Amino acid sequence: MLLSELARCVGGARIVCGAKNMQTSENTQIRGLTADSRFCSTGDLFFCLTGGKTDSHVYARDAEEAGAAAVVTERELELKIPQLVVPDSRAAMGLIASAFYDHAAEKLKIIGITGTNGKTTTSYMLASVLRRAGKTVAVVGTLGIYYGKKQIAPELTTPDPLFLHKMFADMVKSGVEYVVAEVSAHALFYRKEEGIPFAACIFTNFTQDHLDFFRTMEKYKAAKKLLFTPERCPIAVLNGDDAVGREIGGLRGESDKAGKTSTVFYGLETPAEAFAVITSEELYGCEFMLNLSDNLCRISLPMTGRHNVYNAMAAAACAYALGIRTEAIAGGLSGMKPVRGRLEPAGKFHGADIFVDFAHTPDGLEKSLAALKSHCKGRLICLFGCGGNRDRTKRSIMGETVARKADFSVLTSDNPRYEDPYDIIAEIEKGYRRFSVHYAVVPEREKAIYYAVGLLKKGDILLVAGKGGEDYQEIMGIKYSYNDNAVIREALSQKPDNPL
């Protein structure tokens, strides 16, 4: 593809010739796209990006020496190859990637999901509904990328634009019709979603997380709200019981009145187009009557907890807004399997139940523990930790949350990264000890699980929280192979009186 063709996709872009004349520069053939000079190949277009710690403009010369045909830059550099100077390289990256891959995203119906908690579960619920309606669906998110028979391991919740648009092109070739994609606040901040024409967007909820990056809740909220601008989001599906959801809805009022966009609210506590009446709650599922703009359907959801009813309402409201029939919505939600690592049943021992969950925020832990507490006939035991080199302010809050909800806890490691696990646990203890002294510290997570399983008696419930479906434990920059479910299975298999 010609550099001049890609330049036309970015407002305010201009080509700087380098050692070539203008006509030759404009006709430069671009054979690939990269933002990493270490993997730059002959004919690539290299993107210079400004980040929080690194400015990759300093690697432009390395890319040139590796054979780059041109670079995208925010300022003129001393290079011999052509330069495409743009106002914002990150925004340009998504737009250029879309064009380079023949605007594949425009041939798909893409639903974006953002919020602090519930993105993954909601995405799998919506995918199940769409499949029940006969659609071919891809899922992009924390658990990886799935479509057809292809499974791609996760790197980030929202992949970088160059990879994402390449995947969109392959999805089109594979016959995918719908893409359900998690959209992180970081992705929105870094403008990774530029060039994606969303068919609809879902907002789940807003609570504390990622303050190591955003510093304040206002900045974190501002990033989330970027997904719902009228220009980007034609159909917004918002949690009406969440203050930020209502705030986003208010910002779309004029656009909705003009008929340019539509906004749908869902909730259990405030008037909404989509709401539910819960009729039964059990440990391994719940039943509720779902009302979608006065169209009723009964749902038997194989997942417990009010928070999962919210996730189901979000998926159902979005599907309904996209024209999916209520029969497919009911069938898709009732017939889905539990989502990997999302309050997932992981085994039984001595008449006790074990669950694995990704809950890693105060709100997420509170909701998961509350869901299990109401069905616990013995002790509710929680095993959890906090991530290293991440939001430190939530550690003591998570300690308080678990101390108030659980009868006993095992404090352990959860991706300590470059921090000492004992230092992280000490910060959790500060909050925990305000409400309880009933806990044990076992820093090595695998040993902590063995210890927690050994505590179980009939009627107990053990929640192993924080990692969910992750298949690694990150320590000092190395990701070691690790999975909570696998360790639980191993622990149960080694118990001589394990009834399973």
Strand order in the sheet with 344-349: 344-349, 352-357, 461-465, 380-384, 408-411, 439-441
Looking at the fold, whether 301 and 383 belong to one and the same domain comes out as no
Say which amino acid occupies 193. Answer: E
Say if 500 falls within a structural domain: no
Looking at the fold, whether 110 and 73 belong to one and the same domain comes out as no
pLDDT band at 26 (very low <50, low <70, confident <90, very high): confident
* Residue 346 structure tokens: 């992981």
Say if 128 falls within a structural domain: yes
Looking at the fold, whether 330 and 358 belong to one and the same domain comes out as no
Q: CATH number of the domain at 425, please.
A: 3.90.190.20
According to the model, what pLDDT value does residue 308 have? 98
Are 94 and 104 a contacting pair, CB within 8 Å?
Answer: no
Looking at the fold, whether 112 and 138 belong to one and the same domain comes out as yes
According to the model, what pLDDT value does residue 53 have? 84
Q: CATH number of the domain at 207, please.
A: 3.40.1190.10
Q: Is the pLDDT of residue 18 over 60?
A: yes
Average pLDDT (482-487) is: 98
CA-to-CA distance for 223 and 235, rounded, in angstroms? 18
Are 381 and 410 a contacting pair, CB within 8 Å?
Answer: yes
pLDDT in tens, 173-221: 999 999 999 999 999 999 999 999 999 999 999 999 999 999 999 999 9
Looking at the fold, whether 168 and 68 belong to one and the same domain comes out as no
Domain span holding position 328: 104-334
According to the model, what pLDDT value does residue 500 have? 39
CA-to-CA distance for 491 and 485, rounded, in angstroms? 10
CA-to-CA distance for 111 and 468, rounded, in angstroms? 23
**39, 129, 62: which is closest to 323 by C-alpha?**
129
The CB density around residue 1, as the number of other CB atoms within 10 Å, is 17
- The neighbouring-strand residues paired with 178 are 109, 137
- The neighbouring-strand residues paired with 357 are 465
Looking at the fold, whether 308 and 405 belong to one and the same domain comes out as no
pLDDT in tens, 79-113: 999 999 999 999 999 999 999 999 999 999 999 99
CA-to-CA distance for 338 and 302, rounded, in angstroms? 6
Q: Is the pLDDT of residue 23 over 90?
A: no
Looking at the fold, whether 251 and 394 belong to one and the same domain comes out as no
Looking at the fold, whether 328 and 398 belong to one and the same domain comes out as no
Say if 360 falls within a structural domain: yes
Say which amino acid occupies 181. Answer: A
Residue 178 Rama label (left phi>0; alpha psi -120 to 50; beta): beta
Looking at the fold, whether 156 and 303 belong to one and the same domain comes out as yes
State whether residue 20 is helix, strand or coil.
Answer: coil
- Which of 291, 306, 334 is a domain's end point? 334
Average model confidence (pLDDT) across the chain: 96
pLDDT in tens, 162-172: 999 999 999 99
Average pLDDT (355-359) is: 98
- Which of 36, 53, 88 is a domain's end point? 88
Q: Is the pLDDT of residue 496 over 70?
A: no
Looking at the fold, whether 426 and 457 belong to one and the same domain comes out as yes
pLDDT in tens, 209-263: 999 999 999 999 999 999 999 999 999 999 999 999 999 999 999 999 999 999 9
- Which of 267, 302, 334 is a domain's end point? 334
Percent of the chain beyond pLDDT 70? 98
According to the model, what pLDDT value does residue 493 have? 93
Show the DSSP H helices in 374-476 as ranges: 393-405, 421-432, 445-455
pLDDT band at 497 (very low <50, low <70, confident <90, very high): low
Looking at the fold, whether 109 and 246 belong to one and the same domain comes out as yes
- Strand-pair category, 178-182 with 150-152: unpaired
Are 370 and 405 a contacting pair, CB within 8 Å?
Answer: yes
* Residue 294 structure tokens: 């006065």
Show the DSSP H helices in 174-301 as ranges: 185-189, 211-214, 217-225, 243-251, 253-257
Look at the block and give the residue holding tokens 């303050």.
Answer: 211
Looking at the fold, whether 349 and 248 belong to one and the same domain comes out as no
Say if 94 falls within a structural domain: no
Are 368 and 160 a contacting pair, CB within 8 Å?
Answer: no
CA-to-CA distance for 241 and 268, rounded, in angstroms? 7
Q: Is the pLDDT of residue 315 over 50?
A: yes
Show the DSSP H helices in 89-195 as ranges: 89-100, 119-132, 161-173, 185-189
Q: How far lies 289's CA from each of 280, 298, 319, 326, in Å? A: 10, 5, 16, 12
Q: CATH number of the domain at 67, please.
A: 3.40.1390.10
Classify each residue of 251-267 as buried b or exposed e, where b means 16 or more C-beta atoms within 10 Å of its C-beta.
ebeebeeeeebbbbbbb
Instruction: Work out how many domains the chain is built from and give that number.
Output: 3
**375, 364, 353: which is closest to 466 by C-alpha?**
364
